[in-house]
């Protein structure tokens, strides 16, 4: 609840134009990209700088007002749904690239910077920021950092965590701290930078970030390998890695996903294939040529019925863009799209894909699967209708079983989308009670009054694993 007095204090900080408690204003921020989650905030606030964020937090802490930091709201775990009301904190004024340092190979950004703007800005200087979530045209750096987002280039280059080397963070009580810096090495105390990355707005508010850049790869090549059988495609993923080749991108798409993407993008994807691998390598010309030759041979030996190499940059771009559009394409099929990101060791990809298909058949629901096969990170995606209660019940049971299977295969309940409110009931499956207790102790130390994105990560009721011994 925001009292009249608190409202007055908040408006004094940001000005009336940056505080909105109208019904219409609140409604816009009552949901995010996650289906099935909606809850009204008490107000929306848009600070202009770190000092204002600090003053807002001090007030919220004193009056125990929940704060939900929000980038573009594209998370898929209910992470920005204000499930306990309070203030939604926007970064629309804090959206500048502050510096690209070509000597130290770093960029310093505010949280509201759009990821693709950042990628383009550094590429114009011959530098490269690899994390490339498919949502990068709209997602923000603050959101990427707090979800530890990955992307198509994750296999070779890693995820957001591997590039964040320094942060400015406002703590729950309003204190401002700086972690890390433009440093290649820094072991002064605990690694708080890593702790905040992926913390989903529950430990502090990121107001500035220093990210590491690398030289832009000289060249890249893209190919599509087509398979008549999903197992052969999955085996090829393991074979490529076992041959000690790490492609920049190694994506898997099953036939239902291919059909939907082709209908959406119309670029001539091979819709008659049962599965496709989209493979990209980048780097110096001769190394790319050597790796792609080897990869092509491995695909053919692994029963690919055809291997097609993109002939031009435009063709390669169209292929990766089509893959990036998978969720948007699938979302056209039915009113509700539930995209998950169960992750397993790469060697278990074939088993996981098979299990997903069996589970979909068992519960009589439609699941398309695509994802970052090289990372073992699959996106089983169910197209359904939230109004069909019977089907929604089956969808929920099916996903619970998918998470169990992922854990049984040595995997996890989320590879890049975070826990938020959606996966909170499943976290104990992965961490056990003791793991949850350790994380709760950290949360209590950083946020003793539980004002930072409350109701996320930790569930009131955990879902138990149905199968405990296998
Ligand atoms: C079409 C589509 C494709 C996607 N593809 C990918 C993909 O390839 N890879 C991937 O990893 N994810 C993907 N996602 C998920 C999502 O885009 C990412 O999680 C992204 O990082 C969220 O960015 P955002 O700016 O929208 O953050 P939001 O959704 O607004 O916020 C995400 C989390 O960060 C917190 N937060 C935001 N800003 C701050 C801040 N400054 N300080 C503290 N906490 C903050 C929020 O409270 C929330 O918990 C996709 C989503 C969609 C809709």
pTM (predicted TM-score): 0.95
Q: What separation in angstroms does the CA of 7 have from each of 27, 60, 202?
A: 18, 11, 23
Q: What is the pLDDT of residues 202-213, one digit of tens each?
A: 999 999 999 999
**Does residue 150 line the site of ligand 1, with CB under 6 A?**
yes
The domain that holds 409 is classified in CATH as 3.30.70.2740
Is the model's pLDDT at 458 over the cut of 70?
yes
Residue 459 lies in a domain: no
Q: Is there an atom of ligand 1 within 6 Å of 168 CB?
A: no
| pLDDT band of 132, cuts 50, 70, 90 | very high
Cβ–ligand 1 distance for 255 under 6 Å, the answer no
Q: Ligand 1 within 6 A of 133 CB?
A: yes
Would you say the CB of residue 95 lies under 6 angstroms from ligand 1?
A: no
Residue 181 has pLDDT above 60, yes or no: yes
Number of alpha carbons in the 13 Å side-chain half-sphere of residue 444: 6
Q: Is residue 460 predicted with pLDDT exceeding 90?
A: no
The answer to whether position 102 is within a domain reads yes
Tell me which residue has its CA closest to atom 3 in ligand 1: 135
Q: Do residues 119 and 190 both lie within one domain? A: yes
70 in a structural domain = no
CA 218 from chain centre, in angstroms, equals: 27
- Looking at the fold, whether 242 and 350 belong to one and the same domain comes out as no
Question: Same domain for 289 and 375?
Answer: no
The pLDDT tens digits for 282-312 are: 999 999 999 999 999 999 999 999 999 998 8
C-alpha 417 – ligand 1 centre gap (Å): 8
Task: Please name which of 230, 239, 241, 165 lies closest in space to residue 196, comparing C-alpha atoms.
Answer: 165
pLDDT at residue 463 in the model: 56
Evaluate: CB of 401 within 6 angstroms of ligand 1: no
Q: Average pLDDT of the chain?
A: 94
Q: Determine the number of helices (DSSP H) and then strands (DSSP E) in the chain.
A: 15, 18
Please tell me the distance between residue 139's alpha carbon and the centre of ligand 1 in angstroms: 6
In this structure, the answer to whether residues 101 and 211 fall within a common structural domain is yes
Q: What pLDDT, on a 0 to 100 scale, did the predictor assign at position 233?
A: 93
Residue 458 in domain: no
Q: What percentage of the chain has pLDDT greater than the value 90?
A: 85
Provide the domain count of the chain: 3
148 Cα: distance to centroid of ligand 1 (angstroms): 8
Q: Are residues 230 and 297 in the same domain?
A: yes
Q: Which of 276, 307, 324 is the last residue of a domain?
A: 324
Query: What's the CATH number where 179 sits?
Result: 3.30.465.10
Task: Please indicate whether residue 377, judged by its CB atom, sits closer than 6 Å to ligand 1.
Answer: no
Cβ of 202 less than 6 Å from ligand 1:
no
Dihedral angle sign, alpha carbons of residues 120, 121, 122, 124: positive
283, with CB counted inside 10 A (0-12, 13-18, 19+), is: middle
Give 35-48 pLDDT, tens digit per residue: 889 999 999 999 99
φ, ψ at 75 (rounded to 5°): -60, 155
Please give the Cα distance from 411 to 405 (Å, whole number). Answer: 8
Q: What is the pLDDT of residue 286?
A: 96
* pLDDT beyond 80 at 468: no
pLDDT for 461 beyond 80? no
Q: Examine residue 407 and state whether it is found in any structural domain, yes or no.
A: yes
For residues 101 and 207, membership in a common domain is answered with yes
Same domain? For 156 and 201 the reply is: yes
Residues 341 and 391 in one domain: yes
Site to substitute for ligand 1 among 73, 75, 379, 458, most atoms within 8 A of C-beta: 75
pLDDT tens column, 191-239 = 999 999 999 999 999 999 999 999 999 999 999 999 998 889 989 998 9
Last residue of a domain, one of 375, 400, 417: 417
Clarify whether residues 240 and 343 are in a common domain.
no
- Asked if pLDDT for residue 357 goes beyond 80, the answer is yes
Shared domain check, 347 and 389: yes
Q: Does residue 247 belong to any structural domain of this protein? A: yes
| 208, 225: one domain | no
93-104 per-position pLDDT tens digit:
999 999 999 999
User: Using 50, 70 and 90 to split pLDDT, how confident is the model at 270?
Assistant: confident
* 169 shares its domain with 198: yes
Distances (CA, A) of 338 to 3, 58, 274, 306, 379: 37, 37, 22, 32, 10
Strand partners, 48: none
Question: Domain residues for 381?
Answer: 333-417
Domain annotation covers residue 101:
yes
Query: Which mutation among 130, 138, 144, 146 tests ligand 1's pocket best, with the greatest number of atoms within 8 A of CB?
Result: 146
- What confidence tens digit (pLDDT) does each residue in 362-381 have? 999 999 999 999 999 999 99
Instruction: Report yes or no on 256 lying in a domain.
Output: yes
Give the Cα separation of 267 and 446 in Å (integer): 49
User: Which of 50, 57, 134, 326 to mutate for ligand 1's pocket (most ligand atoms within 8 Å of CB)?
Assistant: 134
| Domain end residue (candidates: 324, 343, 362) | 324
Burial degree of 395 (CB within 10 A; 0-12, 13-18, 19+)? buried
Question: For position 319, what pLDDT does the model report?
Answer: 87
Write the pLDDT tens digit of every residue in 79-123.
999 999 999 999 999 999 999 999 999 999 999 999 999 999 999
Pocket test for ligand 1, best of 74, 199, 452 (most atoms within 8 A of CB): 74
Instruction: Identify the pLDDT of residue 313.
Output: 87
């Amino acid at each position: 609840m925001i009292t009249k007095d608190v409202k007055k204090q908040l408006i004094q900080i940001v000005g009336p134009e940056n505080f909105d408690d109208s019904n219409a204003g609140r409604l816009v921020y009552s949901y995010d990209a996650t289906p099935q989650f909606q809850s009204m905030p008490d107000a929306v606030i848009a600070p202009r700088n770190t000092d204002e964020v600090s003053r807002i937090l001090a007030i919220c802490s004193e009056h125990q007002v929940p704060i939900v930091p929000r980038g573009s709201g594209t998370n898929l775990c209910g992470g920005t749904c204000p499930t306990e009301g309070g203030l939604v904190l926007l970064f629309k004024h804090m959206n500048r690239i502050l510096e690209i340092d070509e000597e130290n190979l770093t960029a310093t950004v505010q949280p509201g910077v759009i990821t693709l703007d950042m990628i383009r800005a550094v590429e114009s200087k011959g530098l490269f920021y690899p994390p490339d979530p498919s949502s990068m045209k709209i997602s923000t750096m603050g959101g990427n950092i707090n979800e530890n987002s990955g992307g198509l280039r994750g296999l070779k280059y890693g995820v957001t965590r591997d590039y964040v080397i320094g942060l400015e963070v406002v703590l729950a009580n309003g204190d401002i701290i700086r972690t890390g810096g433009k440093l290649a090495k820094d072991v002064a105390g605990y690694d708080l930078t890593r702790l905040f990355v992926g913390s989903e707005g529950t430990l502090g508010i990121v107001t500035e970030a220093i990210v590491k850049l690398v030289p832009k790869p000289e060249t890249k090549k893209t190919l599509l390998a087509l398979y008549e059988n999903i197992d052969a495609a999955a085996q090829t993923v393991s074979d490529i890695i076992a041959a000690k080749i790490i492609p920049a991108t190694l994506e898997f798409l099953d036939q239902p996903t291919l059909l939907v993407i082709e209908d959406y993008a119309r670029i001539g994807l091979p819709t008659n294939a049962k599965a496709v691998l989209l493979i990209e390598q980048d780097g110096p010309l001769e190394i790319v040529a050597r790796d792609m030759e080897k990869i092509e041979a491995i695909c053919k030996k692994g029963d690919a019925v055809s291997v097609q190499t993109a002939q031009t940059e435009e063709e390669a771009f169209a292929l990766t863009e089509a893959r990036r559009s998978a969720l948007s394409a699938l979302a056209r099929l039915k009113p509700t799209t539930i995209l998950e990101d169960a992750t397993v060791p790469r060697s278990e990809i074939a088993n996981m894909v098979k299990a997903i298909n069996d589970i979909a058949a068992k519960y009589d629901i439609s699941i398309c699967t695509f994802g970052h096969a090289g990372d073992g990170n699959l996106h089983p995606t169910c197209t359904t209708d939230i109004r069909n209660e019977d089907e929604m019940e089956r969808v929920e049971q099916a996903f619970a079983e998918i998470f169990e299977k992922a854990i049984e295969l040595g995997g996890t309940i989320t590879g890049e989308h975070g826990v938020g409110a959606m996966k909170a009931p499943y976290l104990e499956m992965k961490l056990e009670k003791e793991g949850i207790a350790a994380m709760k102790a950290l949360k209590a130390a950083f946020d003793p009054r539980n004002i930072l994105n409350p109701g996320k990560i930790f569930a009131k009721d955990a879902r138990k694993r149905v199968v405990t011994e296998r």
